[in-house]
Amino acid sequence: MPIRTELHLLEIAAPARTSASSTGPSAAAAPYGVQRHIIEAVTPSVDCGRYPAKRIIGEACIVEADIFRDGHAIIRAAVKWRRKDAAEFKEAPMQLIDNDRWRGSFPLNENTRYVFTIEAWTDSYATWAADFVKKAAAGHNVAADLEEGIAILRANANYVDESDRRLIIQTAGQFAALLDSDPAQAAQIANNPALLELLARSGERNESSTFSSLLEVIADRPKARFSSWYEMFPRSQGTVPGRPATLREAENRLPAIRAMGFDVLYLPPVHPIGRTNRKGPNNSLIADDSSPGSPWAIGSPAGGHMAIEPSLGTLADFDHFAAAAHAQGLEIALDFAIQCSPDHPWVKQHPAWFNHRPDGSIKYAENPPKEYQDIYPVNFSTPERGILYDELKRTINFWIEHGVRIFRVDNPHTKPLGFWEWLISGIQAGHPETIFLAEAFTRPKIMKALAKAGFAQSYTYFTWRNTKAEFTEYLTELTQAPAAEYFRPNFFTNTPDILAGVLQGGSPAAFKLRAVLAATLSPSWGIYSGFELCENENVPGSEEYLHSEKYEIKIRDWDKPGNIKTFITLLNQIRRNNRALQVLDNLMFLPADNDQILFYGKAAREENNILLIAVNLDPYQPQACTVTVPPAFSGAGINARYEVTDLLTGAVYNWGEHNYVRLDPNLEPAHILRIGRRI
């Protein structure tokens, strides 16, 4: 047999490697019936790739898929990714986990949108080597097999860099010299780990297949997942009854809000308020000159969505307020309400943007039996839809220019989903740091569709979940796939529209237990001002606040006896200091033999941060039970004992797998326990 030389090995010109292009993946493009590699059940993927999954900048995007082919050939796979606006793909190898499930990852180093796909191929050399070693061990005549191995190496030599080619050439020469001699030595050479690794990484991708879709991932900034919100009406931050505070005066409240540990300050609309059909106290149809009106009745001769209510000050005052908030460590979230008072400039400039009755009058907003005579909803079916869309996008960009990067969107479920997908993706193309929160208390599928369309956070049904069974069912839904891939909850304890029934009894324990639930079950939570004062006066038979701040100016004593500011401050401190509370999908409900005590754990094991939370859902009576902490969750081992420290009180307990818990709401309605040293 002739001996193969280096010259022989280099005679074949290197073919171009198939890869994903800038416009889409390469054809999984074998003709029907010829494609050898199956790639399916890819994650993360939302609705088969129709919508992007959500992640956080700085993390790795973990990609998994079922990958297999017919026969027993050895396959390889790689995840290929790029910025959505880039041309070239990068790639990283995937590893077999078990049962044809593969895993790989790529870094999310930028606040942007990424696309990725998966390529799978047969490793001809590894397949040949595995069979060759078996044949050689069985004493077969392997001369022809060595010839085959040399041919495979010759083909692979054209795919690798010059620095790697030498090992391939050397191995081919060794095989050629052993054609008629020592199969065992040839088998040892064939199994060279360095050669196998080299060809798995850089060798020929035989019968390559690429997943048929490009999947998308949004890498948001961390505040999209973990944040503490405080809602405040600037006009109610003064000290003189009946007189609205200006934005400059409202700045005096900023240090106290930041001191409680909040990092997002949400403002209802700060735009001019209309006079026509202005609402009076308690949503009355009768208003006098002292009635400030609802901030959601946007627009007056002073301007519309890009103007400031004159009683608050000027646009320069808003800029000063935003800068003062930033200096305190607070980021402004501004309400974006697509609706107008009858006095809004758009009503005269663009009458086709509104719904008209047969008599020509414009229809005001209704949510029967509620009526909003001071508000005109916008007609998204207007023939001037393109002009309307551009104006709304211009409005968002206007406030971005004034330092706003977070928008709480009012009633987004009453606007087309396609509009939100268009608007949010368009805004984030230029300002990827922008965060949109969907205020939508509506049917579950619409709430989820809004999240898929691009909203980084969403209001939820938390306000109406009260029992152990309700919390367990709802949080299990939110923290597991598929919802966890795209839906990020923000648990508000109350809003200007909602004073939950459990809070109406006035017990400070009720306010505390709801705060603990919101702050520990969800990475993002919020309160509407007055919650820290345990305000609980409702319109009889409803969840509406009596003397609602939506229609009048409130002057409060922020140090009122019975307030829970210290408790809320401690809660936010615990959240900042414990990584386990800053992610969503690590929640595990644990057994407690009393339905009035909700018991759950959250863990960030990479930081040895394991928390156990027990909450008494009864704000009036002490409750006791036995709780069970599986050794697999505590990490302490079977029959082990360990210390737990209550982060709310500082008390230290000796715990194990089964533990007695008694929670008296007159003392504290909850434990937030951090697992410490073994005993």
Q: Which residues are catalytic?
A: 410, 439
Residue type, position 250, single letter? A
Distances (CA, A) of 43 to 102, 208, 456: 10, 20, 19
Look up residue 18 and give its DSSP letter: P
CA atoms within 13 A on the CB side of 354: 24
Q: Are 419 and 380 within 8 A, CB to CB?
A: yes
For residue 624, the cross-strand partners are: 662
Distance CA 455, CA 396 (A): 14
Cis ω on the peptide bond leading into residue 269 (within 30° of 0)?
A: no
Tokens, residue 420: 């939100």
Q: What are phi and psi of 168, to 5 degrees?
A: -65, -45
Contacts of 86 (CB under 8 A, 6+ apart): 22
Cis ω on the peptide bond leading into residue 310 (within 30° of 0)?
A: no
Would you call 264 helix, strand, or coil by DSSP?
A: strand
Q: Are 335 and 395 within 8 A, CB to CB?
A: no
Distance CA 16, CA 18 (A): 6
Look up residue 280 and give its DSSP letter: B
What do you get for the CA distance between the two ends of the chain, in Å?
Answer: 73
Q: Could you tell me how many residues make up the chain?
A: 679
Contacts of 203 (CB under 8 A, 6+ apart): 123, 124, 125, 156, 159, 160
Q: Are 594 and 618 within 8 A, CB to CB?
A: no
Would you call 377 helix, strand, or coil by DSSP?
A: strand
Neighbours of 220 (CB within 10 A): 23
Tokens, residue 124: 């001809």
Distance CA 436, CA 451 (A): 10
